Structure formats: C-alpha cells, structure tokens
Chain A
C-alpha cells in the first residue's frame, strides 16, 4: 500500500522510472521473478462413473517443473509449440492458474501461495497482454472506460479529470494519437494493431514492473507485428519494464529477447541467449524448431528433418525425455517404452503390403497390452502363435530398419510362455545442464550417460541420413 502515493504521480515520472525505483529489487543482480520447480497440473475430467465415485482420472501436466530467473529489465522469451504449456506458464506467473507445486517468487513474495485478495494487490505490478486483442477487450466498453478501468479497480483515482488526463497520456505513449480520435471508440471500431495498442495502454496505465506478453503479435499481420514489437522494445527502455515474452515464433524471439527458454511438454529443454541458441542449437528439439523456420529462398531445398508426429499426450508424457519418440537422435537412456514399440509396429504396418501386414498382425495379440508407459512389456502372441514367433517377428522388424533409434533403447527380447518379453534400458529424466553458453536438458550432452559416439558424431548421425533419403 505504501507505493500508492508514489504511483499517483507516476505517469509524468515514467521515463525516469528505473532510476526512481528505490525498491530492494531495484538492482539487476537479484531476479525480479524467480520460478522454482513450478508445476501446474489440471485435473482431467473423467467419465461419468469416475466422477460419481470420486476416482481421480489423471492430471494434465501443463507445466511440469520449470525453473527460470527473470532479471529486472530483461526480456525472457518462452518458445514452444502449441501444447507445450507456455501459455499456462504465463498464467501461472500471474496467479491466474493455480500452481500445483513449486514457487513463483516476485518481489520476494511467492505468487503461487497467495490468496486472491493479495494477488489483486500484486497485479498492480504485473500485467498480462493476451494473444487476441479483440477478445481481450470488452466489446461493450469504449476505450476511455476500458483503459481507465485498472485505475478505478485499484482505487488509485476516481476523479474524472485525472482519469481522462492519464488515459490520454497512456494513449499517446502507445502511439494512439491524437487520443481524441480513439477515446470514444468501441473495440469493434479499431483495427487489430490499434486494439493491441489499446490492450497495451490498459496494461501500462498502472505502471507495472513486469509484463507477461502471451503471443502479443501472433494475431496481427506482418507489417503491424514489426511496429508493435518495436513499440514494445521502446516502451521497455522508456518505462523500465521487464518482459516475459511467450511465443511460438522463433524469428521474433530472436529479434526481441535477451534470453530464450525452449519449452517442450511443460519442461524447459534449452535456455540461453538467442545468439547461442540460434548459432549452435544443442537440443534436437531446438534444432528441429530452427529447421522448421520457412526458408525465403525457393530454389534452395534443404532437407527438413522435422519431428514426426504430434506433441504427445500431457496426461501420460513419455518416460525419460519427453521428446524421445519424435527425436531422430534419441538413444539408449532416453526412456524407450511400450508405447514406442506399438508406434514402431504401426508405422511399419502402414508401409508394407497388405498380405504381409495380415501375416504379421496375426502373430501379435492385443496391441493395447503393450500400449503403456513401462520399461518392460510383454508382447502377447496371437492365436496359434508362441512367444518365439513374436521374438522372430520383432527381430525381422529390427533387421529391416536397424537404424531406427528405437532399437538403441531395447535391452533384451526374450521368448516366454505365450508372449515375448521386451526389456528396455532404464529411462533417465534429462535435467538442464550447462553446456557452453546455454543450458540444455538432453542426454546427448550428458557426459555421465556417455552417448554412443559423443554428441558431435550423434548430431551428424542417422537422423541426417534418413532425412536425405
């Protein structure tokens, strides 16, 4: 509450704000925002019966153990595919989604543990800009009311003249000038870029320290994107803001961020300065993302070894490294399991002639029995077949594609009564480890796990060969 008198004079003092803050976290050495093993799980709505008897039907692990520091004045980019949990991470930062465990320390207070009334106080200093500027403005409110609303919510001022003056100022700051032209407009009467500027104005009128930008430009067209991003960059310097920039767009992240964290399935797989990540990506997922950036030169046809398949199910993420089923460089310790075997078989069966498929399919019994996250599965034999037949089939499959990374993870295949037992290597969870200028969570870079031939050889290994076929 003690900051309030200070705030009432702030708009004028805004450009000098970094110097003016006498807060204990004013220096750049201690992070403004610190995430510590943050987890956000959402309960899965099960079937009617599950709900009736109160059985828990699982959790969607949207954010699964993220640790990250954001220093004052820094722009930290959080990059990932859809479904990687980056937006949930942003919402958890602000306390809009409840954290399951871990801590979000903002200004020496744990946001994750605060109750709603205390959070409301904290929201004076941390604001969110949404992806869709149209949907995040109330269609029944003109800009004057919408932008002044945060001031009224926090009781900073109710004086109409003061409100009017501040709204005009902040509209000028975000480049909606002259303000008279926009004050009485409804959001429906503005263009996308103007709406996003209005959303920014609404976020900035409280003079926050931290702005979480959740894909702020992805709904805007290209020409407007650059303008909004350069506006954001200018505002950061002028108002001393700190940004968490959530995006799926590596190109803007490179241009905009001081540091980037690449997220995959709720975890950070690689983090470091953009220059290091773009020049020498370490994690196979980062490499794949960078390869996926469209190439403006149509004559150059670069083999894009894009990850196969989709982002896996966040309810039952793959064992070990979550990226291993899609990774061309995966090997022994990455966490191979029963579901990968099923996928391997199904992938094979879509390629072979139909009669061969019929023959092979008959050897194996119910596929659902191997479709589980376990390091040891029993592959049931089909009607009239024995465990030995299954082993034989699996060996044929291996002989046909010995380079598939899957086989690095198979420890042993044994025939048993009525089924074949497949033992996989023990899965290891990758953790972020310093590697040059970046931190990367990948077994290829973990000296303790001793990759097949060392990372250098692995990066030029079978993944490339396959891509060039």
Chain B
C-alpha cells in the first residue's frame, strides 16, 4: 500500500478559490470585443474605487468645507482655477472635493446594497426554487409585487420609513436600494435553481442519500451562483442611478452626512440658468462615468461568462514547416500566415 506521506496532498483551494478559478479562467481566455469591453469597464470602475478608498488623500478640502483652515471663506461660484480645480458651489464648497468624497459615498452604498440584496435574494431564491410548491408561489407573488412598484418610489418609501430609525444615511440608502434589487436576484437565482433542480446530478445526490440541505449547498448552489456576478454588476450600475435619484429628490444621504452627486446636481439646477456650468457638469460626468464603467463591466462579464454568448476559441493548428528547422517553426508561423 502507499506510504502515508504519499497520501499527503498540497493544500487545495477551497470552494471559493475553485469558484474563482472557474470565473477567472474564461476571463483570461476572452478575446476580441468582450475583452475590450470588460477591461474598459474594469478600468473605469477600478479608478472610482481607488478614488473612493484614497479620498482623504486626493481631495484637497473636506466635503462640507467652505472656508480655509484660517477661517477665510471660499468665494461663491468661483470658476475652475488653480485653488479650486473644478470651481466652487453656491455654498462655497469645492466641487472637486465633493466629487471625490461623493465617490466614497457611492461606492459604500453600492457595496452595502449589493451585499444586502445578495444576502436576501440568494438564499431565498435557492429555497424557493428548490422547495417549490406553495412557498415558491407565495415568495414569487411577494417579489413580483415589489418588482411591480416603480423602483424610485419604492426606494423613497423605504428611505422615508427608515430615516427615523437609522442614524446612518449610508445604511438607510443601502437598505432602501437593496429592497429594490432583491427581486431581481431572487428571480434569477430561483429560475436557475428550478432548472438545476431537474438535472440528473441532483437526483444522483438524492440517490446517494443526501439531505435536501446538502443538495442545495453542495450541488445546486455552485451551479447557480455563476449567474450572480453579472446580475450584481449590472444592478450596481443601476443602483448608482437610484442613489443619485434619491439624493436629487432629497431622500438620500443628507448633506451633513456626506457628499452625494445627486444632491449636488439638484443644487446646481439654479446655477445652470446663470451660466454657471461647472457645478452641474462635473457631478453629472462622475455619475455617467461610474454607471458606464459598471455597465461595461457587467456586459463584459456576461459576454465572457455566459457560455451561450461565449464564442469557442479554436487554436490554430501549427504544422511543422518543411523549409525551416524544427526550432524555428514557432517563430516563423505568424509570417507564414500573413503571406497566405
């Protein structure tokens, strides 16, 4: 029999690691337009995330700062200049600093909102799809009812209800937004679960004697979770708009709690008529670029991860070249193809 040390195996990556490999493999293999879309999306999103992380070092002033440390008030409506790169607002705050700090708010809220919606939508969708029956009917009904509401109205109602309960504006906004997006995760996960449930390997697991909980966690989950990254990224893009919408209407992050692009836009409406373009343009660009980045990331992921959209890449067959020596063939190959 084998020696005991023979059965020792190097540490294998755990479930998360293996899932990561399953996702990262196709990304490495991707080519062409999906790859370009994916990388542009990643670059824009990554830039904003970095900005959010390093906001205190990047922003020259605080988000609500309207005077210098010496107590000297900034001028109102100052056009972009060297002291205030993107100018100042009617409240004498620095537009550039507010955008940088705003990135932090947006990223915080979106991450929290995605986590909350995942934490609810994923397990509920799994259970609903796997159990079926009346539980599934009831949950689908509830989720469809949530889905039927205009999303902004729903978010406003939730934010309004929570504003007295929770002190943190970020948390309130995140919960309000996650309520809006839970039905989407639920739908995707539930429908996927229903189709996976009918796969022979689930019945095989039953035949092995597995309990339902084991089947769901070990057999169904890993096959369902692959569709989540795409939904999560696309929803993140959407939730930026929802957050900005909340802020614009005054139900989002309060100005005392943090900078928020939607709120800035709302304050800039009056400026636009007076030819003061910088207070509105720059927060607008920030919103558009982050939403675009996340959308491109989501679409790129979808193209790359969805096997139905992913084109099969075929390796060109390399024949040994008769004129050249064997060692040279690899290098001369591109030329050969170019000539023919």
Residues of A in contact with B (beta carbons under 8 Å apart): 94, 96, 119-121, 123-124, 127-128, 130, 132, 135-142, 144, 149-150, 153-154, 161, 164-165, 168, 183-184, 199, 202, 206
A128:B201 contact, CB within 8 angstroms: no
CB < 8 Å neighbour of A135 from B22, B199, B214: B199
CB < 8 Å neighbour of A123 from B12, B208, B219: B208
In the complex, which residue of chain B has the Cβ closest to the Cβ of A167?
Answer: B7
Point out the residues of chain B lying under 8 angstroms from A154, CB to CB. Answer: 209
Identify the interface centre among A123, A127, A138: most chain B CB within 10 Å of its CB: A138
A149:B207 contact, CB within 8 angstroms: no
Point out the residues of chain B lying under 8 angstroms from A94, CB to CB. Answer: 207
B204:A128 contact, CB within 8 angstroms: yes
Point out the residues of chain A lying under 8 angstroms from B209, CB to CB. Answer: 119-121, 123-124, 150, 153-154
In the complex, which residue of chain A has the Cβ closest to the Cβ of B218?
Answer: A149
Tell me if B73 counts as interface (CB < 8 A to partner A). no
Q: Which residues from 1 to 51 on chain B have a C-beta closer than 8 Å to any C-beta of chain A?
A: 2, 7-9, 12, 18-19, 22
A139:B223 contact, CB within 8 angstroms: yes
Point out the residues of chain A lying under 8 angstroms from B22, CB to CB. Answer: 140
CB < 8 Å neighbour of B7 from A127, A128, A140, A164: A164
Known contacts A149-B218, A161-B7, A165-B7; A135/B200 CB under 8 A: yes
In the complex, which residue of chain A has the Cβ closest to the Cβ of B221?
Answer: A140
CA distance A138 to B197 in the complex (A): 11
Nearest Cβ on chain B to A407's Cβ, whole angstroms: 47
Q: List 15 A-B contacts (CB under 8 A).
A: A96-B207, A121-B209, A132-B200, A135-B201, A136-B204, A137-B204, A139-B201, A141-B219, A141-B222, A144-B12, A150-B209, A153-B208, A153-B211, A154-B209, A168-B7
In the complex, which residue of chain B has the Cβ closest to the Cβ of A126?
Answer: B207
B211:A130 contact, CB within 8 angstroms: no
Known contacts A130-B200, A168-B7, A184-B12; A142/B207 CB under 8 A: no
CA distance A168 to B199 in the complex (A): 27
CA distance A123 to B205 in the complex (A): 11
CA distance A462 to B205 in the complex (A): 51
A128:B222 contact, CB within 8 angstroms: no
B interface residue count range (under 10 / 10 to 19 / 20 to 34 / 35 or more): 20 to 34
CA distance A127 to B205 in the complex (A): 10
B208:A150 contact, CB within 8 angstroms: yes
Known contacts A141-B222, A142-B18, A149-B208; A136/B200 CB under 8 A: yes
Q: 6 nearest interchain CB pairs?
A: A123-B209, A140-B222, A135-B200, A120-B209, A128-B207, A136-B204
CA distance A128 to B207 in the complex (A): 6
Point out the residues of chain B lying under 8 angstroms from A183, CB to CB. Answer: 9
Identify the interface centre among B12, B22, B200, B211: most chain A CB within 10 Å of its CB: B200
Tell me if B228 counts as interface (CB < 8 A to partner A). no
Point out the residues of chain A lying under 8 angstroms from B222, CB to CB. Answer: 138, 140-141
Point out the residues of chain A lying under 8 angstroms from B219, CB to CB. Answer: 138, 141
Tell me if B144 counts as interface (CB < 8 A to partner A). no
Tell me if B76 counts as interface (CB < 8 A to partner A). no
CA distance A73 to B201 in the complex (A): 27
CB within 8 Å: A-B pair count:
74
Tell me if B83 counts as interface (CB < 8 A to partner A). no
Point out the residues of chain A lying under 8 angstroms from B218, CB to CB. Answer: 138, 141, 149
CA distance A154 to B214 in the complex (A): 11
A202:B208 contact, CB within 8 angstroms: yes
Beyond the given A130-B200, A137-B204, A140-B19, please list 7 additional residue pairs across the A-B interface where CB-CB is below 8 A. A123-B208, A140-B222, A140-B223, A149-B205, A149-B210, A161-B8, A184-B12
In the complex, which residue of chain A has the Cβ closest to the Cβ of B224?
Answer: A140
Tell me if B310 counts as interface (CB < 8 A to partner A). no
Chief secondary structure at chain B's binding surface: helix
Point out the residues of chain B lying under 8 angstroms from A121, CB to CB. Answer: 209
B9:A136 contact, CB within 8 angstroms: no
In the complex, which residue of chain A has the Cβ closest to the Cβ of B222?
Answer: A140
Point out the residues of chain A lying under 8 angstroms from B205, CB to CB. Answer: 138, 149, 153
Point out the residues of chain B lying under 8 angstroms from A184, CB to CB. Answer: 12
Nearest Cβ on chain A to B11's Cβ, whole angstroms: 10
CB < 8 Å neighbour of B203 from A96, A165, A199, A206: A96
A130:B204 contact, CB within 8 angstroms: yes
A153:B207 contact, CB within 8 angstroms: no
Nearest Cβ on chain A to B280's Cβ, whole angstroms: 48
Nearest Cβ on chain A to B223's Cβ, whole angstroms: 5
Point out the residues of chain B lying under 8 angstroms from A202, CB to CB. Answer: 204, 208
Point out the residues of chain A lying under 8 angstroms from B201, CB to CB. Answer: 135-139
In the complex, which residue of chain B has the Cβ closest to the Cβ of A138?
Answer: B201
Point out the residues of chain A lying under 8 angstroms from B206, CB to CB. Answer: 96
Nearest Cβ on chain B to A242's Cβ, whole angstroms: 16
- Contact digits for B188-220, partner A, Cβ 8 Å, 1 yes 0 no: 000000000001110111111111001000110
In the complex, which residue of chain B has the Cβ closest to the Cβ of A142?
Answer: B18
Point out the residues of chain B lying under 8 angstroms from A141, CB to CB. Answer: 218-219, 222
CA distance A142 to B206 in the complex (A): 19
Nearest Cβ on chain A to B142's Cβ, whole angstroms: 23
Nearest Cβ on chain A to B134's Cβ, whole angstroms: 14
CA distance A119 to B236 in the complex (A): 45
In the complex, which residue of chain B has the Cβ closest to the Cβ of A94?
Answer: B207
CA distance A142 to B222 in the complex (A): 12
B9:A138 contact, CB within 8 angstroms: no
CA distance A120 to B218 in the complex (A): 17
In the complex, which residue of chain B has the Cβ closest to the Cβ of A202?
Answer: B208
Nearest Cβ on chain A to B277's Cβ, whole angstroms: 52
Nearest Cβ on chain A to B259's Cβ, whole angstroms: 42
Point out the residues of chain A lying under 8 angstroms from B18, CB to CB. Answer: 142
Identify the interface centre among B19, B199, B205, B211: most chain A CB within 10 Å of its CB: B205
CA distance A135 to B204 in the complex (A): 9
Point out the residues of chain A lying under 8 angstroms from B19, CB to CB. Answer: 140
Identify the interface centre among B9, B201, B210: most chain A CB within 10 Å of its CB: B201
CA distance A132 to B203 in the complex (A): 12
CA distance A183 to B209 in the complex (A): 23
Point out the residues of chain B lying under 8 angstroms from A165, CB to CB. Answer: 2, 7
- Contact digits for B275-291, partner A, Cβ 8 Å, 1 yes 0 no: 00000000000000000
In the complex, which residue of chain B has the Cβ closest to the Cβ of A117?
Answer: B211
Point out the residues of chain A lying under 8 angstroms from B203, CB to CB. Answer: 96, 130, 136
Nearest Cβ on chain A to B24's Cβ, whole angstroms: 15
